[in-house]
Amino acid sequence: MTRRQAAADRLWRGSALLASDRTERLAGWVRATGRRRAAVLRLAVLIAVGMVVWRIVRAVPSLLWLIVPAWCVTAWRAAPPAGIAAEASSAPPVDAVLELLSGLIADRPGVHLSTVLDQLQENGHGEDWRVADLRARLEALGVPVRRSVKVAGRVAYGVHRDDLAGPPPETTPDHAV
């Protein structure tokens, strides 16, 4: 794959992720009320805002010179580089990663990525990885990573217990790897 093809692929993947994320957020906002009448009202507001934006862009098409680059930059940032995306597709299933994280978290509020990386390296995975590499791979798998997770009085990048769905598994980290 040439550099241009890789860049186009990254923009495509980022645009797909961005569109999916925005759609899910807007749908969640519409459904968040729990009442049918309020949800219909929110949907009507969303449609009205969309129509106003559409009319503004139709009236002033030069706005696209601002909108399109902003979208492209955001899409570029949303998609991991091609190498990381390829590795993520050959990565272990998300369930196995979540089991490992849940086992490492146990009853603590979260786990630092350095602890996860140490555990992985003890089991022969990612010997040449750094914390930033692990963070990129977890984000590519859709695992939420926070910038500041406090464990044992220390704050660092990590995964918070509240961000993991479901109850923690009964396996130990050694079995999860």
DSSP 158: E
More confident position, 9 or 125: 9
Say what the pLDDT of residue 169 is. 44
Percent of the chain having pLDDT more than 90? 23
When comparing pLDDT for 172 and 134, which is higher? 134
Nearest to 134 by CA among 176, 100, 175: 100
Residue 118 token pair: 């140490």
pTM, full prediction = 0.48
How many Å separate Cα 149 from the centre of its chain? 17
Task: Please report the pLDDT score of residue 32 as a whole number.
Answer: 82
pLDDT tens string 28-82: 888 887 788 999 999 999 999 999 999 999 999 999 999 999 999 999 988 877 6
**pLDDT of 88 above 80:** no
The pLDDT of 150-165, averaged and rounded, is: 84
How many Å apart are CA 19 and CA 24, to the nearest integer? 9
- H or E element in which residue 86 lies: helix 82-89
- Give the domain ranges of the chain: 3-79, 85-176
For the segment 96-117, the average pLDDT, to the nearest whole number, is 86
CA 155 to chain centre: 21
CA distances from 140 to 10, 32, 152 (A): 13, 27, 27
Q: pLDDT at position 91, please? A: 54
* Sheet with 154-160: strands ordered across: 110-112, 154-160, 146-151
pLDDT-derived band at 157 (thresholds 50, 70, 90) equals: confident
Whole-Å CA distances, 55 to 48, 65, 174: 11, 16, 58
Q: How far apart are CA 153 and CA 73, in angstroms?
A: 37
How far apart, in Å, are the Cα atoms of 39 and each of 24, 48, 115?
15, 14, 43
Element (H, E) at 147: strand 146-151
Band of pLDDT at residue 174, cut at 50, 70 and 90: very low
Structure confidence by residue, pLDDT tens digits, 68-86 = 999 999 999 888 776 655 5
For residues 166 and 8, which has the higher predicted lDDT (pLDDT)?
8
